[in-house]
Amino acid sequence: MRAVQDSMDVLSGKWKIAILSSICYYNKRRFSDILHDVEGISNKMLSKELKELEINKLVNRSVMDTQPITVQYELTEHGRTLQTIINHLTAWGIEHRKKIIGE
């Protein structure tokens, strides 16, 4: 029971899963790309959430020395262990939508 909470603490917030999905799908993804992928998120939130994901070792941030700067985010090995869960959540979301809308 405690363990589930631990997971949810890490994944809490409106955007974390969506952000992870975006990075996961593209393997590597830049800040502005994620900003575009995740509909409705503001740059402030994205930056905040990414920071938290980094702290929890789920994503890796690497600054490319270009002009202007670009920053790449990718899942860590640990982050990649979430893929199964994300896939399940996606599938479940689709089913759930059917269930609820269709009444």
Number of residues near DNA (by CB under 7 A): 23
CA 9, 15, 89 angle in degrees (round to 5)? 75
Which of the residues 27 through 86 are near a second copy (CB under 8 A)?
37-39, 56-57, 78, 81-82, 84-86
Report the distance separating Cα 54 and Cα 44, nearest Å: 15
83: contact with DNA by CB under 7 A = no
Q: In residues, how long is the chain? A: 103
- Whole-number minimum distance, CB 57 to a second copy, in Å? 6
Task: For a second copy, give the closer residue by CB, 64 or 95.
Answer: 95
- What is each CA distance from 82 to 10, 65, 73, 85, in whole angstroms? 11, 30, 16, 5
Binding mask 16-55 for DNA (x = CB under 7 A): --------------xxxx------xxxxxx-xx-xx----
Cβ neighbours for 96, distance < 8 A, ≥ 6 positions apart: none
The footprint of DNA (CB under 7 A) covers 12-15, 30-33, 40-45, 47-48, 50-51, 61, 68-71
